[in-house]
Amino acid sequence: MPGRLEHRVALITGAGSGIGLESSLLFAQEGANVILTDINLDGVKKGAELIAKRYPNVKALPIKCDVSKEEDIKNAVETAVKEFGRLDVMFNNAGIMHPEDDNALNTEERIWDLTMQINVKGVWWGCKYAITAMRQNPTDESKGLHTGGSIINTASFVAIMGAATPQLAYTASKGAVLAMTRELAMVHAKEGIRINSLCPGPLKTPLLMNFLNTEEKRQRRMVHLPMGRFGEAIEQAKAALFLASDDSSYMTGTDFTVDGGISSAYVTAT
Ligand code: NAD
């Protein structure tokens, strides 16, 4: 059975941990050559080593890339195209949830700006350079390769529902990702570039678990989770694979929610 990303090239930001790391491994398993990028070079190097060991038929390239710096993203995309000749999948996944992010009164402007710089501008630049590359993708019918590609932007369930445990900059940044993704999807639909948002629910990854650093904070959320558990990064990676592959060929501009049902909840079972 050929993999679902056979002959494709995928670049993933925030690939040193959580959703990004699991997606890198899964995309490689499905036949993609993967460029793993992160500010944490050790993390992406380890991910690339795992891929080399488990899936010797594909290549994995670790690159240090801070998505808050336009030059870094430009370099990562251009390196991907230089190495592999194309870019089929761009997963703009890197994001932060700052421990000092709070409500309207307590959040400092520097926390707001940092969050927007990474979570919003980083996604914009990822889209900008991916679109530029995807327009140049050569077609090879024998391998099922075409001009265009799939861009996935990680938003969050907090972009579609309010929370009384505030993280205002983060929530606003993820709302911006949803709005930006819809518009980009419309602008580039006729070019064969599909652009979708992934909206994860609360996950058991370092990003949220470091933020919820006491049992009390964890339980404050747990009571709202319909399934009674936080999600796993691999559950998001599987959704990202769907959006990355031709399985989702008629989907663009969607807010793809993988949230254990939380955005449908009013009262949950005790
Ligand atoms: P994670 O902390 O496991 O991984 C995030 C990765 O992003 C880390 O490897 C980190 O080094 C990297 N990163 C941070 N700043 C960066 C920057 N400036 N440039 C490049 N890389 C950077 O977290 P995760 O849960 O896998 O988060 C991935 C995405 O999912 C984020 O956008 C996050 O907002 C989103 N998300 C997470 C949850 C959750 O509950 N964990 C829920 C909804 C959405």
- 91-140 pLDDT per residue, tens: 999 999 999 999 999 999 999 999 999 999 999 999 999 999 999 999 99
Q: What is the pLDDT of residue 1?
A: 77
Which structure tokens are listed for 268? 């949950």
Domain assignment present for 225: no
Q: CA 94 to CA 18: how far, in whole Å?
A: 10
Q: How far, in Å, is the centroid of ligand 1 from the Cα of 141?
A: 36
- pLDDT tens profile 213-229: 999 999 999 999 999 99
Which structure tokens are listed for 198? 């992934």
Q: How far, in Å, is the centroid of ligand 1 from the Cα of 85?
A: 28
Q: What is the pLDDT of residue 270?
A: 85
Ligand 1 neighbours (beta carbon < 6 A): 13-14, 16-20, 38-40, 43, 65-68, 93-97, 118, 154, 156, 200, 202-203, 205-208, 233
Q: Which residues of the chain have pLDDT under 50?
A: none
Question: Which residue from 199, 231, 241, 258 is spatially nearest to 91, judged by alpha carbons?
Answer: 241
For the annotated catalytic residues, the residue numbers are 170
CATH code assigned at 119: 3.40.50.720
Domain assignment present for 157: yes
Domain assignment present for 269: no
ipTM strictly over 0.90?
yes
How many domains, in total, are found in the chain?
A: 1
Question: 184 lies in which domain range?
Answer: 9-205+233-258
Domain assignment present for 224: no
pTM here is 0.98
